[in-house]
Amino acid sequence: MASALGMTAVLGGCGLTGSSGEVTLKLVAADYGNSTQNSSQKYWDKLARKYESKHEGVKIDVDVYSWNDVDNKVRKMVDAGDPPDMAQIGAYSDYAAKGLLYSADDLLSIPTQADFVSQLARAGEVRGVQYGLPFAASTRVLFYNKSLFSRAGLDAPKTWNELAADAGTLKAAGVKFPYALPLGPEEAQAETMQWLLSGGGGYTAAGGSYAIDSQQNVDTFTWLKNDLVGKGLTGPVAPGKLNRATAFAAFAAGDVGMLNGHPSLMKMAAEKGVKYGMVPMPGADGPSEVSMGVADWMAAFRKNGHADQIGDFLDFVYDKKNVLDFSREYDLLPVTTSASQVMSGAKQDAALKPFLDELPVSELPPVGQTSWGQVSADIKQRIGRAVAPGSSPTSVLNQLQATASSAQLAE
């Protein structure tokens, strides 16, 4: 997502109260920018100075790291007994399960809590208590190359069979990746979940237990193996070795007919002059009724205290204007209802409307389960085998289910 920024030395620890009675809150955050010009450090520094100007005695000290580094940086700080007051990162449930985090009730005003998009707030819960505060969100839609489709006389697909037929036509026309299927270890869990949802399945059953080897999921991956990958419609790179970043770059280069994408792909494609369309993910019998949702999280650690100051600052962070400013800067979806309503009706945000439309019908991965990190890592490493020549989708999904069930029992 962004280039790594150097680590800034923190003198004297986190959350210190100086001799003057001043409180310094330490925030570690992820970088959503793709250059020094739009680094998230600039966003947070501006926001912090604005807050400090109206709150004498409180300082906000922010360090921003790339997504490759930020989660590990925070984990090392926690392991060293010196956590930041706040961390804007990719996961929160491990810390919550260990009793290290403040809950939303501990910190936020009632209006702020009530403004979170409901399914995002629920995804922030561990055992019914919200510890993860959603900070940024996105959904997935099917991108297609309008120029390639127009030359081939195709319309955007609504069903799996239409997708396969379109991919066959694109292959015959010489398109390198008729449908790009990134099941490589970078983000295979996301591509997998989008396909599982479109087939009426998903990672978990209604009660929250893992159901990776459900019949719906087996049927989905059997179709992918036989009707898409087996017919040579996913390009020259084996899906298990194709990463999302490579697939996105290939789409921006005009070499991909279709793929699942999130909002950042719009800018990548536009910068390369690729004309694209976006439609809901096709399903077995029609457009998928459920989309995959993704959220990044804000978590507040209890170690240094300062709950009142942290809560007041986070109420400010989640103010409608600030949420809109961040979402617009990085082409992300707002995590609050008030900001979403503004964005849905604003001309300047029209490009994000297909993603906003999917948010109310989106489903997030089971991020509130402490086992999810292990299960997700296992999926990233193994799921590509489910569509490989000579493989058995049933066998691969059974193996993933066995690992997931064991991890869940150990929670």
Domains and CATH numbers, the chain: 23-138+294-363 (3.40.190.10), 141-280+371-409 (3.40.190.10)
SS3 assignment, position 369: coil
Q: How far apart are CA 231 and CA 173, in angstroms?
A: 15
SS3 assignment, position 93: helix
pLDDT tens profile 349-359: 999 999 999 98
Tokens 């992918």 correspond to what residue?
224
Q: How far apart are CA 298 and CA 133, in angstroms?
A: 5
Residues 6+ apart with CB under 8 A from 210: 203, 204, 366, 375, 401, 404, 405, 408
CB contact at 8 A, 210 and 204: yes
DSSP letter string, 297-311 = EEEEBSTT--HHHHH
Q: How far apart are CA 305 and CA 325, in angstroms?
A: 29
* Type of residue at 78: V
Can you name the residues that pair with 58 across neighbouring β-strands?
23
Give the pairing type, strands 276-279 and 362-363: unpaired
pLDDT tens profile 327-345: 999 999 999 999 999 999 9
Q: Which residues of 296-331 are buried (b: 16+ CB within 10 A; e: fewer)?
A: bbbbbbbbbebeebbbbbbebbbbbebbbebbbebb
Closest CA to 365 of 94, 91, 30: 91
DSSP conformation class of 131: -
CA-CA-CA-CA torsion sign (220, 226, 228, 234):
positive
96: left (phi over 0), alpha (psi -120 to 50) or beta: alpha
What pTM was computed for the model? Answer: 0.85
**pLDDT value of position 21:** 65
* Type of residue at 353: K
Q: How many CB atoms sit inside 10 A of residue 91's CB?
A: 20
Q: Can you give the pLDDT of all 411 residues of the chain as single tens digits?
A: 332 222 222 223 333 344 346 899 999 999 998 778 889 999 999 999 999 999 999 999 999 999 889 999 999 999 999 999 999 998 899 999 999 999 999 999 999 999 999 999 999 999 999 999 999 999 999 999 999 999 999 999 999 999 999 999 999 999 999 999 999 998 899 999 999 999 999 999 988 999 999 999 999 999 999 999 999 999 999 999 999 999 999 999 999 999 999 998 998 999 999 999 999 999 999 999 999 999 999 999 999 999 999 999 999 999 999 999 999 999 999 999 999 999 999 999 999 999 999 988 899 999 999 999 899 999 999 999 999 999 999 999 999 999 999 999 988
What are the helix (H) ranges across 318-385? 320-330, 337-345, 353-358, 372-382
**pLDDT value of position 19:** 39
Can you give the length of the chain in residues?
Answer: 411
